[in-house]
Structure 1
Amino acid sequence: MSMINKPWLLTKFIGIYCADLFYSACKIAWDVATIRDHSSPGIVKVPLEKQSDPEVTLLANLITFSPGTMVVDLAPDKSFALVHFMFIDTPDEAIATIKTLESRILELLR
C-alpha cells in the first residue's frame, strides 16, 4: 500500500511529529531562558530495524530536525545510530523515543 493510500496515517504522523517539535522547542527555550541548567546531555546507541536507505534517511533527518536531538553517526550496515540527546533521563527512555518514531515511519511507508 502506498503512502497516498494512507492519508489518515500521514495526517496522524504529521500531527504527532509537530506536537513533539513544539514540546522540544519549548523545553529548549525553557532551558535557555532560565538561570538553572536543566539539560542532561548524552549520546545513546539506538538499534535500528532493517530499513531501506530512504527510510533510514527520513528517520535520521526527522531526529536531527527535532530540537535537542541529533544523529551523530550511523553504522555502515544501518544496524544502529548514535544519537545525541540534550535531555536524557535514562538510555532506555531515549531508545524508546527513537523506536516509537521509527515504528511510526515504517508503518507509514510500508
Structure 2
Amino acid sequence: MNLYAIAVVMAVIWVAVTGSLTIHNLLFGFLLSTLALGLIREQVDGAGYVTRTIRFISLVWLFLVELAKSAWKVAAMVISPNMNLQPGIFAYPLTVQRDFEITLLANLITLTPGTLSVDVSEDRKILYVHAVDCSDVEGTIRDIREGFERKIMETFE
C-alpha cells in the first residue's frame, strides 16, 4: 500500500481514537503518522517519504501563493477603468512526461485565476493554455516552468 494512503488511514484512525473531528486534529494525525512512517521507512521501503511529503507541502504552498497573486491580478484587471487585455491561447512546451504529472500541471494552471488549460497535444509534449492577458507569453511560460512544473518534478521524481 502506498505510504501516503497509510498515512491518511493512520490520521483517520487518530481522529477516531481522539474523538475530535477537526481539520487541525486531522493534520496533526497526518503529521504524527508521517513522522512514524519516516522512522520505520527502511522496513516499509519508503526511504524518501518524509522528503517527498515536505516537497508536496511545498507544492501546495506554491499553489496557494500563486492562487492569491493571480486572484489579485484578475481583480485589479476587472476594476481598472481601461482593460487593456490581450487574451489568447499559447503553446506551453511540457517538461513533465507522465500522465499524472501532466494532469496535475493542467489542473493547477486551470485552478489559477486568469488561465485555463485547453488541450494537450497528441504526443503529450505541448499543453495549450488560454490566458486572459497574453501580453508576456514568454514570462508566463517561464513562471509556469520555474513554478508549478519544477515543483511537480521535484515532488514526484
Per the shorter chain, which TM-score range? Answer: 0.7 to 0.9
Q: TM-score, normalised by structure 2?
A: 0.63
Please tell me whether the aligned partners of residues 3 and 10 of structure 1 are also in contact (alpha carbons under 8 angstroms): no
Tell me, in whole angstroms, the C-alpha distance in 2 between the residues paired with 1:63 and 1:16: 12
Please tell me whether the aligned partners of residues 63 and 69 of structure 1 are also in contact (alpha carbons under 8 angstroms): yes
- In the alignment, structure 1 segments of 5+ residues that lack a partner are none
Q: TM-score, normalised by structure 1?
A: 0.87
Within 5 A, what are the aligned runs for 1:21-36? 21-36=67-82
Q: Which residue of 2 aligns with 1:98?
A: 144
Tell me, in whole angstroms, the C-alpha distance in 2 between the residues paired with 1:37 and 1:11: 36
More strand as a share of residues: 1
**Alignment equivalent of 2:97, drawn from 43, 46, 51:** 51
Equivalenced residue count is 110
2:116 paired with 1:79? no
Q: CA shift at 1:106, angstroms?
A: 1.1
Tell me, in whole angstroms, the C-alpha distance in 2 between the residues paired with 1:54 and 1:11: 18
Q: Secondary structure at the match of 1:55?
A: helix
What amino acid is the match of 2:135?
A: D
Instruction: Using the TM superposition, name which of 52-61 and 80-89 deviates more.
Output: 80-89
- In the alignment, structure 2 segments of 5+ residues that lack a partner are 1-45
CA RMSD of aligned residues (A): 1.9
**Alignment equivalent of 2:154, drawn from 92, 107, 110:** 107
Work out the percentage of aligned pairs sharing the same amino acid.
32
What amino acid is the match of 1:103?
A: R
Q: 1:9-57: CA deviations, max 9, x gaps?
A: 1222221211110010111111112322043222111111251111111
Please tell me whether the aligned partners of residues 96 and 102 of structure 2 are also in contact (alpha carbons under 8 angstroms): no
Q: 1:89-109: CA deviations, max 9, x gaps?
A: 322112112212111111111
2:55 paired with 1:9? yes
Q: CA shift at 1:59, angstroms?
A: 0.7
When Rg is computed on C-alpha atoms for both structures, the one with the higher figure is: 2
